[in-house]
Amino acid sequence: MLINCASYKDGKKIADIAIDDISDHLKDKDAFVWVALSDPAPDVIAKMQEEFSLHPLAVEDALKGFQRPKIEEYGDSLFCVVQILTFDEEITVGELNIFAAPHYVLSVRNRSGVKFMGVRERCENEPELLRQGAGFVLYALLDAVVDRYFPIIEMLEDELEDIEENIFEQSSTKSNIERLFVLKRKVKLLKHAVAPLMEDVGKLTSGRVPAICANSTEYFRDVYDHLTRINTAVDSIRDTIGTALQVSISAISLEQSNVQKRLASWAAIFGVATAFAGIWGMNFEKMPELKWEFGYPFAVGMIALACGILYWRFKKSGWL
């Protein structure tokens, strides 16, 4: 459950520390503690609440999980919820809860196998940036999560392009509609992860910026720009899916109309043949064709000629 627990000062790592020693290291106002947890038990969260004096409402949200992406301010601390998305045929949703204040950063990863050790290495390799304190660590964690959305966007766009290539194949119309609705559900998950977070990250870049973020506003602006690009791409995919669905449904209606035209054409042809046969099939005694030697060939010829003319007309008009 405990991935890492370390103290940092002046952009450099001082030492790995035990959980019970966190409160002692927090007494140094020039340092901050960075703790990373994965799927912790409630008693571990309770211990973190005790060591960091976490706000009970934020702790309650972290324990419940399945929260809407958000950034909330509690005094001089921030509580962030971001969704970790992984895409392997289906999109799975994990959660990263971040408690951040001037003297600590606590990240809690739930229901996700994605590891963020690279974030810690990146920060430790850039001491001049890590010197900005916990605010830069908060940025680095948000940036790592948001950057994982770009490959998902690319895979969704590739899947949409594949559907579009087959959209006018009559044999694939039903499967295309099914795939479009599945894709629409995936895009909806990404939209729910991006849109609320974009709105809250925007508040960290201008106006009354929380103190912890004051030295890193340009970095949070970079995250906001990424989220804006992703949100725009998501909206574009959603619009294209809507158009593709309309085209597919129109294709089905057009095919049904063509079938109805063919059926109506053949019904008209056989209707004319039936009409002629009905006329010559009446049992009147004085019908001149009954005693005529060429009466039968004439009747058959008339039926064939009428049917042929109708067939030619329907074929020319595109009904057959």
- Say whether pLDDT at 193 is over 70: yes
Encode pLDDT of 264-311 as tens digits: 888 888 888 888 788 777 766 667 766 777 777 878 888 888 888 888
Encode pLDDT of 201-225 as tens digits: 999 988 888 989 988 999 999 999 9
pTM of the model: 0.81
Domain that holds residue 11: 1-146
Whether 8 and 17 have beta carbons less than 8 Å apart is answered as no
Which CATH number do you get for residue 273?
Answer: 1.20.58.340
In a domain, 14, yes or no: yes
Domain boundary among 87, 111, 146: 146
In a domain, 5, yes or no: yes
How confident is the prediction for the chain on average, in pLDDT?
89
In a domain, 249, yes or no: no
Looking at the structure, tell me whether residues 9 and 131 fall in a common domain: yes
Q: Which residues of 240-263 are buried (b: 16+ CB within 10 A; e: fewer)?
A: bbeebbebbeebeeeeeeeeeeee
The pLDDT-based confidence of 132 (bands split at 50, 70, 90) is very high
In a domain, 78, yes or no: yes
Tokens of 259: 């079938």
Please give the backbone phi and psi of residue 20, each rounded to the nearest 5 degrees, phi first: -65, -15
Tokens of 236: 């574009």
In a domain, 61, yes or no: yes
In a domain, 260, yes or no: yes
Question: Which whole number is the average pLDDT over 185-196?
Answer: 96
Output the pLDDT for position 267. 87
Encode pLDDT of 232-257 as tens digits: 999 999 999 999 998 888 887 777 77
Output the pLDDT for position 285. 66
Question: Which whole number is the average pLDDT over 25-45?
Answer: 92
Domain boundary among 113, 146, 179: 146
Question: Which whole number is the average pLDDT over 181-188?
Answer: 94
Which CATH number do you get for residue 54?
Answer: 3.30.460.20
Looking at the structure, tell me whether residues 136 and 265 fall in a common domain: no
Taking alpha carbons only, the member of 316, 320, 170, 319 closest to residue 255 is: 170
Encode pLDDT of 83-94 as tens digits: 999 988 889 999
In a domain, 46, yes or no: yes
Looking at the structure, tell me whether residues 259 and 140 fall in a common domain: no
Output the pLDDT for position 93. 95
Whether 212 and 138 have beta carbons less than 8 Å apart is answered as yes
The pLDDT-based confidence of 63 (bands split at 50, 70, 90) is very high
* Distance of alpha carbon 302 from alpha carbon 276, whole angstroms: 8
Looking at the structure, tell me whether residues 22 and 142 fall in a common domain: yes
Tokens of 310: 């109708």
Q: What percent of the chain shows pLDDT beyond 90?
A: 61
Domain boundary among 96, 130, 146: 146
Q: Which range is least confidently modeled, 37-41, 47-51, 250-254?
A: 250-254
Q: Name, of 177-181, 233-237, 312-316, the range with top average pLDDT.
A: 233-237
In a domain, 194, yes or no: no
Q: How far is CA 191 from CA 136, 186, 225, in A?
A: 26, 9, 15
Looking at the structure, tell me whether residues 7 and 140 fall in a common domain: yes
Q: How many distinct structural domains can be found in the chain?
A: 2
From first CA to last CA, the distance across the chain in angstroms is 70
